[in-house]
Amino acid sequence: MTGAGSGIGQAIAKTFAAAGAHVFIFEHDLKGAEETANAIKAADGAATVVQCDVTSADSVASAFEQVGRAASRLDILVNNAGIAHVGNVEKTTEADLDRVYAVNVKGVFLCSQAGVKMMSKAGAGVILNLASIASLIGLADRFAYSMSKGAVLTMTRSVAVDYIKQGIRCNCICPARVHTPFVDGYLRSSYPGREQEMFKTLSEYQPIGRMGTPEEVAALALYLCSDEASFITGQAYPIDGGVLVF
């Protein structure tokens, strides 16, 4: 899986390892990846850190080659690596757009391309992408981010259609706001001295009255990648505290 150094990715990695998976953590940030892997191993799980820049075709190819040498097959690919950006279309620079696109869109493309090659040989596999409610509704000041997550959703459906006969399922999860270290860092940098006030505001955006937790997203991810979800493909699953309903 990609992007498991903290937050949602870390929770997914730990949850999958606890369920018996050998988790290969693709990360550009090796420090965070090693922390996740060490936590998994401390709980008697199996994890291997693989340095990978998802924006680089050569780096992705090398990472998947390492997995191929270490494991007999690839059962599950979780495309979680992603970055955020705040700004409307006028405030988004070309450099901003390129940076978000490179990680959130190109990264998912490159890893999915490599993943389906391995899975097709085995005639089975599951790909799970992390999208966002931003791919389903309009969010203020999230132009580039929303664009990228919309692409993730449509890539999900394209892969599901193209590889169903090869036994590969592909779905995506669309979270609303989830309380991660990124949120805490965003509040500290953007609203110094008003962190608690803004945390309350961000929490109340979800009608249920709070943010989601990484562990809740991880539980949904585990289900969608399990045999119990073998009849599900090409779907976008919101986990949003009621945002899309109210």
List the CATH number of the domain containing 85.
3.40.50.720
64-80: average pLDDT: 96
Mark whether 100 and 172 lie in a shared domain.
yes
Whether residue 41 lies inside any domain: the answer is: yes
The pLDDT score that the predictor gives to residue 67 is 97
Residue 119 lies in a domain: yes
Res 246 pLDDT > 90: no
Of 152, 171, 162, 174, give the one whose Cα is nearest residue 229. Answer: 171
Q: How many domains does the chain have?
A: 2
Question: Is 113 in the same domain as 191?
Answer: no
Residue 70 forms part of a structural domain = yes
- What's the pLDDT score for residue 6? 93
Query: How is residue 169 written in tokens?
Result: 């399922």
Tokens of 211: 């943010």
Closest CA to 13 of 121, 114, 104, 128: 128
Q: Is residue 94 part of a domain?
A: yes
Kindly state whether residue 242 falls inside one of the protein's structural domains.
no
- Is the sign of the CA dihedral 107, 216, 132, 198 positive or negative? negative
Mean pLDDT of 183-206: 95
The percent of residues in the chain predicted with pLDDT above 70, rounded, is 100
CA dihedral in degrees (230, 236, 240, 241; nearest 10)? -50
User: Do 195 and 172 belong together in one domain?
Assistant: no
82 plus 31 within the same structural domain: yes
C-alpha–C-alpha distance, residues 76 and 1, integer Å: 8
**pLDDT attached to residue 11:** 98
107-139 burial, b at 16+ Cβ within 10 Å, e below that, comes to bbbbbbebbbebbeeeeebbbbbbbbbbbbeeb
19 in the same domain as 131: yes
Residue 73: give the domain boundaries: 7-176+214-237
Asked whether residue 183 is assigned to any structural domain, the reply reads yes
Residues 166/119, Cβ–Cβ less than 8 Å: yes
Do 192 and 233 reside in the same domain of the chain? Answer: no
Residues forming a β-bridge with 48: 24
Clarify whether residues 149 and 192 are in a common domain.
no
Do strands 46-51 and 168-175 pair parallel, antiparallel, or not at all (unpaired)? unpaired
Asked if residue 243 belongs to a domain, the reply is no
71 with 120, same domain?
A: yes
Is the domain of 195 the same as that of 103? no
Residues with Cβ within 8 Å of 209's Cβ and at least 6 positions away in sequence, in order, are 203, 241
Distance CA 146, CA 135 (A): 6
Using DSSP, state whether 99 is helix, strand or coil.
helix
Q: Report DSSP state, residue 178.
A: B
Place of tokens 């190109």: 106
Catalytic residues, by residue number, are 145
The reply to whether 69 and 109 lie within a common domain is: yes
In a domain, 11, yes or no: yes
Residues 72 and 159 both lie in one domain: yes
In this structure, the answer to whether residues 113 and 190 fall within a common structural domain is no
pLDDT tens-digit readout, 15-59: 999 999 999 999 998 999 999 999 999 999 999 999 999 999 999
Q: What single-letter DSSP state applies at residue 246?
A: -
- For tokens 């580039």, what's the residue? 144
Average pLDDT over residues 70-85: 96
